[in-house]
Amino acid sequence: MNQPDVLDRFRLTGRTGLITGAGRNIGAAIAQGYAEAGADLLLVDRDKEAVDAVAERVRRTTGRRVAVVYCDVGAAHAVDQIVAAAREHFTTVDILVNDALAFGATGTHSADVTVEEWQAALDVNVLAPARLSAAFVRTLVGEGEGVIVNLLSGAGFAPVPLAAPYSVSKAALWMLTRCFARDCAPRIRVNGLCPGTMSPDGVARTEELRKATPMGRGGRADEAVGAAIYLASAASSYSTGDIVFVNGGFTHLTGYGDEIISADPVGRPRRRGGHRE
């Protein structure tokens, strides 16, 4: 008797994925990977030009159906806008990927972070995933089974000096992942994906960061895609409340030292912005 191909468990054929922060880097790479695995997509980003380019590339190379929403996920009515678009274009949504992020402020002592800067990070990194996850569970996935993948960060496990809003909000997102996993099982699985410092070309931002990474290099955005497909697919059917690290061995092995932060432009002062979707 023929056994089913094990790779079939990784396929996303017939499913629909909603990805925030889909306009660049890891979000864009996951969008391409999900489409190649067979999924249709609803892509969300506040950068219209960037996300339109991703959508066009995915359509051209995979032939999958792709719809786009232009919004800042941290805005008050963003979830309503996203849900309306999902209902307009698709019957249900099976996969939610919360990838949009905001730094709030960097290069700032924890005691000097303003309320507005705390709120900027929390709105995008915690409250938006919470609201979208609730809408996903209650509305978008319908009566079927679903998967939520939250993009975490090593900053949520080893605090980044002078980046308290980002570190705290990413730690909170990990707990949010665990709470939704506990409350929504077994119908909805919720897991975390923790990438390292990644870019489309895989070049580390600084030599200090490269040396501190056991793999000895930066990561490419497409290197997070395999783990993202695994977490979204039947291949991970017994995983919920779990986390997959794809960071070259960085988290828990080295952590963020002052010399890494001082050499990294991302760690330099950044006020009321630092928002990437």
Quote the CA–CA distance of 263 and 260 in Å, as a whole number: 5
Q: What b/e string do you get for 167-188 counting C-beta neighbours within 10 Å, with b at 16 or more?
A: bbbbbbbbebbbebbeebeeeb
Considering only CA atoms, which of 76, 86, 77, 106 is closest in space to residue 17?
86
The answer to whether residues 104 and 165 touch, using CB atoms and an 8 Å cutoff, is yes
Considering only CA atoms, which of 94, 63, 97, 69 is closest in space to residue 81?
69
Of 34, 166, 230, 256, the catalytic one is 166
User: Which residue type, as a one-letter code, is found at position 129?
Assistant: P
166 is known as an active-site residue: yes
Interhelix angle for 164-184 vs 128-135, to 10°? 20
Quote the CA–CA distance of 16 and 75 in Å, as a whole number: 24
**C-alpha distances out from residue 126 to 39, 51, 81, 101, 162, Å:** 26, 22, 18, 9, 19
**Which distant-in-sequence residues (6+ apart) come within 8 Å of 130 by Cβ?**
176
**Which distant-in-sequence residues (6+ apart) come within 8 Å of 76 by Cβ?**
none
The structure tokens listed for 117 are 């800067």
Q: Which residues are catalytic?
A: 166
